[in-house]
Structure 1
């Protein structure tokens, strides 16, 4: 009976370890971080005055000269603009200063660390299909 119990415990432990290994999603190491910035319009100001302010503060030039790569930049109705940037971690302070000195006053900014889920999606879809069977 004790042998059967030991075998059962080892089997359950082995299955849970296998499940953990299968659920871990492989990733490629990268030397950069991705940050999504939500720049909310200050709605008391018309868009023309917002743009005039950030242009006077040279926001676009500062962002262009920073060590960032723009992954996406979208205007979202009712919210403002959403920019996703990629940069090396050592440039975090510089990127922050670009927004503090260039976008503040025209936008309220929010920063969120983010990652690209698109390469993970097919893996998750396949796992979901296998679970449905």
Structure 2
């Protein structure tokens, strides 16, 4: 074997591969310099395993796709409403406006399910509602009548991605 520890090219005349050109890539030396041969059939098995492993890896397009569709029922939409406190007013003034406008009595409209209601410090309310599509206008009107003046509002259609995130995390942890 040459001093570099690599097998010579089959046509190079090195005794390691001269009689056995099929072991060119499989010839190696261990730490002590002893020659190791993997024979013709071992190389075939190695090649088959490599092809199978490469075939099992996802392509770029497959790797970027989410694991499955998010649940999108036809009977409701999730609507996240960001209600930003008017910071030119103190809490007492905001509470008084809410009382005067009937905020707690009128929002959300009767029968609209509250999915979550958070207070984000320095921001205001972050409310997610489960709204039947036919009642979207009603929700908008209740915000206009009960929340404006105390809050600046923003609306965001929302969907539940918990199962997608769970599957992505599990796949990432398995790697």
Question: Which TM class, normalised by the smaller chain length?
Answer: 0.7 to 0.9
Q: TM-score, normalised by structure 1?
A: 0.75
Extract unaligned runs of 5+ from structure 2.
1-57
CA distance in 1, matches of 2:125, 2:106: 17
Q: Residues of 2 paired with 1:33 and 1:67: CA distance?
A: 14
Q: In structure 1, how many angstroms separate the alpha carbons of the residues matched to 2:62 and 2:165?
A: 19
Counting only pairs closer than 5 Å after superposition, residues 50-69 of structure 1 correspond to structure 2 as 50-69=94-113
1:88 equivalenced with 2:132 (yes/no):
yes
Classify 1:122/1:24 alpha carbon distance in 2 versus 1 (closer, same or farther; 3 Å).
Answer: closer
Runs of 4+ with >6 A deviation:
none
Structure whose residues are more often strand by fraction:
1
The answer to whether the Cα contact below 8 Å between 2:67 and 2:164 also exists between their aligned partners in 1 is no
Offset at 1:41? 0.7
CA positional deviation for 1:25: 1.1
Q: How far apart are 1:52 and its partner, in Å? A: 1.1
RMSD: 2.6
Aligned twin of 2:76? 32
Q: Does 1:128 align with 2:172?
A: yes
* Counterpart in the other structure of 2:163: 119
Greater helix percent: which structure?
1
CA distance in 1 between counterparts of 2:145 and 2:107 reads 11
Secondary structure of the residue aligned to 1:120 is: helix
- Which stretches in structure 1 are left out of the alignment for 5+ residues? 1-14
Find the aligned partners of 2:105 and 2:147 in 1 and give their Cα distance: 11
Q: Is the 8 A contact 2:97 2:150 kept in 1?
A: yes
User: Is the Cα contact below 8 Å between 1:69 and 1:86 reproduced in 2?
Assistant: yes
> Could you tell me how far apart the structure 2 residues matched to 1:129 and 1:34 are?
30
1:108 aligns with 2:152: yes
Deviation string 1:30-88 (CA, Å, 9 cap, x unpaired) is 11100111111111111111111122111111125433111111111111111111110
> Normalization by structure 2: what TM-score?
0.59
